[in-house]
Amino acid sequence: METQDGVELCFPHLLNSSCRKPRFHWSETVFVNTVLSFISLITAALNLLVILSVSHFRQLHTPTNILLLSLAVSDFLVGLLSMPAELFRRYSCWVLGDTLCSVYIYVASIIVSSSIGNIVLISIDRYVAICDPLHYPTKISVSKAKVCVCLCWIISAFYRILFVKDELIQPGRSNSCTGECAFSTNSIAGFFDIILNLIAPVSVIVVLYMRVFMVAVSQARAMRSHITAVTVQLSKDITKKSELKAARTLGVLVIVFLISYCPYYCYSLVQVNVTSTSYASFLFFLFYFNSCLNPLIYALFYPWFRKAIKHIVSLQILQPGSCEANIL
């Protein structure tokens, strides 16, 4: 049904309260939906490979990889849930109801917060590994990494309730019309959200990686200038090189994350209700696209990930004892 001015409504029977259907050029809609749907599919598939790799092969059960596994889970959920839902919300009427809209906003915000928490944990892990390598095995263990990951997700879930509790109690309160899925928050909540989700974690990440970078440079210079035939020392040098390579790889991961993540919250500094602006979807998808890049970074820098993919694609992981395979 169309109104007198020729605009189609999402719910024609709700003439006075229905939203207007989003209007886009047919070619634009098809192109954007195709590209973003493909990115969503690739994001979910690639991160599923990371999850299967780290979960299946025992050699990969290290503290650092446990943190990467948690990050891969959040990235997988981005590809499986957040991207399709945001695509649907942007290019069509929201016909799933106010309750599901509130649930989507809550789940999407948990995924974002957990991703930030995982990146902070990865930065801490690299800081201890590079700056205090002798105590790393005692300070950072697989069990401690698992506890930190669980706490990260639990804290994210409870923390986000504080920001979306009004939406959960009264679904649709931020919607201006029926057929919309919007979220708005007051300036005080937005201010604390920027501090807790941008300023604090980014400050921690930058400070830790600046320290890691300085120590890594000094260690690299020391290794280049020090040549010895002692086996024990050689073993130590190999370990240092391995840690430095891991720090470099995860440093790339963190930099890409910040480039994808910061624009949304930086824009929030001047526009509190960023989800209601025309730039919201672009900023969301820029952040979500980071979830697709992370597995590509693993594939580019981690030989074990490439080997694990071969085992998974060739179905070798279905063979008995495949979890003990030499991946490293």
- Residue 21, in any domain of the structure: no
Q: Would you state the pLDDT for residue 76?
A: 94
Please report which residue ranges of 140-195 form alpha helices under DSSP H.
142-169, 187-194
Calpha distance 305→314 (Å, rounded): 14
Cα 316 vs. chain centroid, distance in angstroms? 29
Which residues lie below 8 Å from residue 297, measured CB to CB, with a gap of 6+? 249, 252, 253, 256
Q: Would you state the pLDDT for residue 146?
A: 94
- Residue 302, in any domain of the structure: yes
Which residues lie below 8 Å from residue 13, measured CB to CB, with a gap of 6+? none
Q: Would you state the pLDDT for residue 198?
A: 80
- Residue 125, in any domain of the structure: yes
Pull the structure tokens for residue 160.
Answer: 């986000």
- Buried b / exposed e along 175-196 (16+ C-beta atoms within 10 A): bebbbbbbbbbeeeebeebbee
Please report which residue ranges of 226-274 form alpha helices under DSSP H.
231-268
- Residue 239, in any domain of the structure: yes
CATH number of the domain where residue 311 is located: 1.20.1070.10
One DSSP character per residue, 198-237 reads IIHHHHHHHHHHHHHHHHHHHHHHHHHH-----HHHHHHH
**DSSP letter, residue 318:** G
C-alpha gyration radius of the chain: 23
Helix, strand, coil in percent for the chain, rounding step 5: 75, 0, 20
Longest dimension (CA), the chain: 87
Pull the structure tokens for residue 186.
Answer: 């007051």
- Residue 290, in any domain of the structure: yes
Report helix, strand or coil for 315.
coil
Which residues lie below 8 Å from residue 237, measured CB to CB, with a gap of 6+? 223, 226
CB-facing half-sphere around the CA of 262: CA atoms within 13 A: 13
How many degrees, rounded to 5, is the angle at CA 268 between CA 267 and CA 269?
A: 90
In the block, residue with structure tokens 């923390």: 159
Amino acid making up residue 236: K
Q: Would you state the pLDDT for residue 107?
A: 92
Q: Which domain holds residue 261?
A: 26-324
| Total count of domains within the chain | 1
Q: Would you state the pLDDT for residue 191?
A: 77
The alpha carbon dihedral of 277, 279, 282, 283 has a sign of negative
In the block, residue with structure tokens 């009264």: 170
In the block, residue with structure tokens 């939406």: 167
The alpha carbon dihedral of 215, 220, 221, 227 has a sign of positive
Residue by residue, pLDDT tens for the chain (328 residues) are: 445 455 677 777 776 777 887 776 666 677 778 888 899 999 999 999 999 999 999 989 999 899 999 999 999 999 999 888 888 887 788 888 888 888 898 998 899 889 889 989 988 998 888 888 888 888 899 999 999 999 999 999 998 888 888 888 888 787 888 888 877 777 777 778 888 888 888 888 888 888 877 777 776 666 666 544 444 444 444 445 555 565 666 677 778 877 887 777 776 666 544 554 556 667 777 778 888 888 888 777 788 888 888 889 888 888 888 888 888 7
- Residue 3, in any domain of the structure: no
For the purposes of burial, counting CB atoms within 10 Å of the CB of 5, is it exposed (0-12), middle (13-18) or buried (19 or more)? exposed
- Residue 308, in any domain of the structure: yes
